[in-house]
Structure 1
Amino acid sequence: MTEQSESRKRAGEDVPVERLYGPVSSLFAALAAPLRAAIIHRLIEREHSVSELATTLGAAQPLISQHLSRLRYAGLIQSERRGRQVIYRIADEHVAHVFLDAYRHSVEHRTD
């Protein structure tokens, strides 16, 4: 293998686009629904139960649960059972940074 092809491989140029960018696309797809974005925003502030999120966001608990499931599957949030309740929190600070950067960018460039 030549030095140039080795350099290209390290840069991801020989990796199929789907494999290279699929995970980041999945992350943004998980955040694409406005209600899921609102859930993430609330969980950045603090942990919440499903009922707290439903009350705060004005949505039915089953709908909130469906969105939480999608966010958990995407690895953006974590859950912990505490007695009869399940408490949800953001998975890590990277999720918070990605979301808040995108949110701030969208607010700065809003054209209402």
Structure 2
Amino acid sequence: MSPDEESLAGAAELFKALSATSRLLILSALAHEPSSVSALTEATKLSQPLVSQHLRLLRGLNLVTASRSGRETIYSLTDHHVAHVIQDAITHSQER
């Protein structure tokens, strides 16, 4: 069965979100463990405003969820299928 137009559009949005190296870094870090913005900033070596901006976009696409832990917000992957897509893409790019 062929995917419908809405499913294809959703997949295209996913690939657009994954097209930025910074977002791939953040999602890869979250694939290992849920993290705060400060932990993601340290793990990715990106600035705090940039990490926050990317997390906002990733939350909007339902790729990342946020939960409160005391005063911190902890981010995690909504679905581990995304981690598999990223790992498969990295593996594929290394096979050239």
Name segments (4+ residues, structure 1) moved above 6 Å: none
Q: Match of 2:62?
A: 75
Aligned counterpart for 1:53 among listed residues 31, 37, 40: 40
Q: Match of 1:29?
A: 16
Q: Match of 1:65?
A: 52
Aligned counterpart for 1:92 among listed residues 66, 69, 79: 79
When the two structures are aligned, how many residues end up with a matched partner?
Answer: 96
- In 1: Cα distance, 2:10 partner to 2:38 partner: 30
Q: Look up the equivalent residue of 1:36 and give its one-letter code.
A: R
- In 2: Cα distance, 1:73 partner to 1:100 partner: 22
**Structure 1 spans left out of the alignment, 5+ residues:** 1-10
TM-score by length of 1: 0.78
| 1:62-88 CA-partner distances (Å, limit 9, x unpaired) | 110000111111111111111110101
Give 1:12 deviation, angstroms: 4.0
Relative CO higher for 1 or 2, CA cutoff 8 Å, sep ≥ 6?
Answer: 2
Q: Look up the equivalent residue of 1:54 and give its one-letter code.
A: T
Give 1:57 deviation, angstroms: 1.3
| 1:20-53 CA-partner distances (Å, limit 9, x unpaired) | 4100000011111100000011110111100011
SS at match of 1:51: helix
CA RMSD of aligned residues (A): 1.5
TM-score by length of 2: 0.90
